[in-house]
Structure 1
Amino acid sequence: MFRLRDITPRGLYARSLLMVVLPVVLILTLTTWYYYDSHIAEVNRKLGQSIARDVSVVQDYCERRSVSPISRDIIASRLDLTFSCDAPDAAPEAEGFLEAFSYRNVLREELRIRLGVPVVVGLSPNDSLIHIRFPASSQTVEVLVERKRAVTITSHFFIVWVIIFSLLMIALAVAFLNQQVRSILRLSKAARAFGRGRDVPDFRPSGANEVREAARAVIDMKNRLTAFAEQRTAMLAGVSHDLRTPLTRLKLALAMMDETDEIRAMKADLDDMGMMLEGYLAFAKGEESDEPAEFDFAGLVREAAAGFAETISVTGPDTIRIKGRRLAIKRALTNLLSNAVKFGDTVQITLVDGPHAAEVHIDDDGPGIPKDQHEDAFRPFSRLDEARTQNTSGIGLGLTLARDTARAHGGDLRLSESALGGLRASLRLPH
């Protein structure tokens, strides 16, 4: 099925420019065609009729010159032309006549109608005059007429001025489109930066009223999201801090009791709660102190890998520069590496520096996660199949926080099957 969008540009600037340029080109083409096909053709026909009337006077003189009291010079002067009643009888082609100009057929037709005899019309290579030949009284009459009397020699001025004004209109339209599209591109860039947790201090609404309204809406949304994130972080830090005191009292009380299976189970639950609170506090402190900045992502990955006792191989570029929250990204990498080390014996890290984003693939040879449960693994506190979670500790927030960190930077975190037989975690972050 034919769709217009399949043959039109996809960009706003290109489409807007096409909407301006295409009508101007069509109008210019139609105007030029009508001007030459109708107006100029009619003007040159009238000029041809005028020449035919003057040549008919010459024809009448050459046929009756023996009895005409008017001299040849008077007729030539009055009609503003040159003629000869006794031109050579050689064919016009032998005289070197050039190919006919555009309106020779029009002039020849008007002469034939007016004179009633065959007429030959052409241009001489030796001058810029129109040579008109026709028979009269067993002789050949030749009339020389200036070319400007037969054709409109200034017609191209109209087209030149039309082209100049059309180019001026296109230039004004392009300048206007540049201003409007620049505002939209600045808004898009600012919105993308806001989505990655970056601030754009020099961003101001500009452009048309609709673009300004959209920019103000984006700024308002950014302020609301920032306030929400700060409120959430403060609440999380406050609640976590307040819960540490009663949790400590419960641990102290259980420590003074006799060891039983129930007491050991309660102690394990309190240890899990303590790990949750420590994770919440670490997350809240990192969000408060971590500001976006440019850093070496490849160096950060190797630094995080070196923090584990197990030998982890890292392959890829030595340096990859990205911009983001360094502590938050390191925490996400640590969570991913901790999971890989926890469930697998062999862990491999592969760094990829793409044209638009940097990626790190963390592979392990553990039991893995079924493909239909990859999304479930990102749910907070989710418990997956027994092979992946049996006899392991954790609060079930590592993958959740890692994906939140990636998406807050404009990237993503995906799970897939590893070539080692276990799980592959792919963290993608834009430059």
Structure 2
Amino acid sequence: MSKRFPLRLRDITPRGLYPRSVLMVVLPVILLLTAVTYIFYDSHWRHTSRKLSQTISSEIEFMIALRHQYPDEFDSIREDARRAMQMDVTVLEDTQLPTEQKQLFFTALDDILSRELDVSLEQPYWFDISGYGATVEIQVQDGPDVLRIMAERDRTFSTTGHIFIVWVIGATGILIALALGFLRNQVRSILKLTEAAKSYGRGRDVENFRPAGATEIRDAARAVMDMRTRLTTFAEERTTMLAGISHDLRTPLTRLKLQLAMMEDSEDIRAAKADLTEMSAMLEEYLAFASGKEGEQPETLRFDTLVRDVASGLEGEITLRRMDSVEIIARPGSVRRAVSNLLSNALGFGTHVEVDVIDGPHMAELVVDDDGPGIPTEQREEAFKPFHRLDASRSQNVPGTGLGLSIARDTARQHGGDIRLEDSPLGGLRVRLRLPR
């Protein structure tokens, strides 16, 4: 039975900083505009329109009553109504009301006028408020005749309420546009800082990057730049120190090699030479692991071409299967060493190796499969530890210092990627190296 978690606000809100900022600005403004519009409509516009419709309905009722009281003088009464009430009354003899009722899209006006006419009149009526521009047509059935009343729209409804709404919406739109422009500038500064930090983390330089935005963002940008400067200085000092150590250690090794070369050949001498050769290889591997970047500058390179070159330089059965054409920005020497370590490890523990280079949507992938003994799932994280050697099933008669996977993962992470170990369809180990495209 699956466990259900309560719905949280962050589950339904945007995750990005800019969308969240926009939501924080726009949502309250829209809610406030809706509330103001509703209050204005309900308390002012609707009330005013109802009073005006009530007045025009009462005047129509009064005109009908005058027609019944003074039928011979109704023509003069109509003239007085035209001058005094701006109401044009026409008698349509032997006529029936229209059967088609016209309505506006905004039916609140129809409802207001209809309600007031129902209160004031006992006779059937018909009206049209959509087709005469500044006037409203109202027809009332009075016996066999129809009274056709043309009244000014301003006297029937409140016609200026929409101006207030337009002004409110316009002013709100301007304020939202200004707020979004300000937010965009601030978020752009944060995004630039984020990209710069990512590039610095991958060993890339960012040209023309300058702190911008609010004071806190500028302070954060300066802190990132200062941190990068300190780390770069530390790496350069470490590389210089390691270069000195390398020189100091290689000198006595070279002297020992020369001394052994001058001695008579024997089993012990050959064993000593082999030990010196292994010591030299171990020294090179230790220094490569400790020096990391080695001062290399990133450049654009074809990842599939690099893998082909490394595979062609190794002895063993390597099958290149899928080789997508993909470019990456990386330090060529570091990536070449990482790929070489992965292929060498696969060849050392298996008899057949298959390689794929896959152009993913965001990452370039190198997949290396071997048919060796593999690595148990519970020991795969241990395999990445420096100088760590697995049990005999994986390490028997295999030379090395246990730094191959450590160097490869260190290189991948320096470039913003990573390495995963999986089960191979060949029965051994699958190594998946991922680097940003």
5 Å-filtered alignment, 1:100-179, equals 102-103=108-109, 106-107=112-113, 118=123, 120=125, 122-123=127-128, 128-131=135-138, 133=140, 143-179=149-185
Paired position in structure 1 for 2:3: none
Q: 1:204 to 1:97 in 2, by over 3 A?
A: closer
Q: 1:59 to 1:267 in 2, by over 3 A?
A: same
Paired position in structure 2 for 1:33: 38
Unaligned regions of 5+ residues in structure 1, if any? none
Paired position in structure 2 for 1:327: 333
Q: Deviations over 1:13-49 (max 9, x none)?
A: 2222222232233233333333333211211232234
The percent of aligned pairs where both chains have the same amino acid is 48
Paired position in structure 2 for 1:188: 194
**Aligned letter for 2:85?**
L
Out of 303, 309, 313, which is 2:309 matched to? 303
SS in 2 for 1:310: coil
Does the CA contact (< 8 Å) of 1:130 and 1:147 recur in 2? Answer: no
Paired position in structure 2 for 1:3: 8
Paired position in structure 1 for 2:237: 231
How far residue 240 of structure 1 moved from its aligned partner, in angstroms, is 1.9
**Aligned letter for 2:215?**
N
Matched residues in 1 for 2:94 and 2:405: separation? 105
SS in 1 for 2:323: coil
How far residue 177 of structure 1 moved from its aligned partner, in angstroms, is 2.5
Segment drifting more, 216-225 vs 49-58: 49-58
Q: 1:348 to 1:140 in 2, by over 3 A?
A: closer
Segment drifting more, 367-376 vs 55-64: 55-64
Q: Deviations over 1:262-287 (max 9, x none)?
A: 98877665443322223345668884
Q: 1:392 to 1:75 in 2, by over 3 A?
A: closer
Q: Deviations over 1:109-148 (max 9, x none)?
A: 65676x6855746239996443364869x99866542233
Segment drifting more, 416-425 vs 123-132: 123-132
Q: Deviations over 1:157-185 (max 9, x none)?
A: 22222222222223223322222222222
Does the CA contact (< 8 Å) of 1:198 and 1:292 recur in 2? Answer: yes
**Aligned letter for 2:138?**
H
CA RMSD of aligned residues (A): 3.7
Q: 1:89 to 1:107 in 2, by over 3 A?
A: farther
Q: 1:340 to 1:143 in 2, by over 3 A?
A: closer
How far residue 90 of structure 1 moved from its aligned partner, in angstroms, is 4.7
5 Å-filtered alignment, 1:169-318, equals 169-249=175-255, 269-280=275-286, 287-288=293-294, 290-317=296-323
Matched residues in 2 for 1:124 and 1:329: separation? 78
Q: 1:91 to 1:404 in 2, by over 3 A?
A: same
Paired position in structure 2 for 1:46: 51
Matched residues in 1 for 2:259 and 2:147: separation? 135
Paired position in structure 1 for 2:419: 413
Paired position in structure 2 for 1:367: 373
Q: 1:389 to 1:107 in 2, by over 3 A?
A: closer
Matched residues in 2 for 1:330 and 1:183: separation? 36
SS in 2 for 1:316: strand
Matched residues in 1 for 2:418 and 2:175: separation? 46
> Normalising to structure 2: TM-score of the pair?
0.83
Matched residues in 2 for 1:261 and 1:87: separation? 134
**Aligned letter for 1:345?**
T
How far residue 192 of structure 1 moved from its aligned partner, in angstroms, is 1.4
**Aligned letter for 1:395?**
T
Paired position in structure 2 for 1:20: 25
SS in 2 for 1:222: helix
Matched residues in 2 for 1:388 and 1:361: separation? 20
**Aligned letter for 2:359?**
D
How far residue 385 of structure 1 moved from its aligned partner, in angstroms, is 1.2
Matched residues in 1 for 2:131 and 2:315: separation? 100
Does the CA contact (< 8 Å) of 1:108 and 1:120 recur in 2? Answer: no
**Aligned letter for 2:32?**
I
Segment drifting more, 397-406 vs 416-425: 416-425
Paired position in structure 2 for 1:339: 345
**Aligned letter for 2:434?**
R
> Normalising to structure 1: TM-score of the pair?
0.84
Out of 406, 413, 418, which is 1:400 matched to? 406
Matched residues in 1 for 2:288 and 2:131: separation? 98
How far residue 190 of structure 1 moved from its aligned partner, in angstroms, is 1.3
Out of 423, 426, 435, which is 1:429 matched to? 435
Matched residues in 1 for 2:338 and 2:129: separation? 89
**Aligned letter for 1:47?**
L
**Aligned letter for 1:29?**
T
Does the CA contact (< 8 Å) of 2:96 and 2:145 recur in 1? Answer: no
Does the CA contact (< 8 Å) of 1:205 and 1:211 recur in 2? Answer: yes
Q: 1:88 to 1:310 in 2, by over 3 A?
A: same
**Aligned letter for 1:242?**
D
SS in 2 for 1:309: coil
Q: Report the count of equivalent residues.
A: 427
**Aligned letter for 1:305?**
A
Q: Deviations over 1:262-318 (max 9, x none)?
A: 988776654433222233456688844521000111111111111123342212235
**Aligned letter for 1:28?**
L
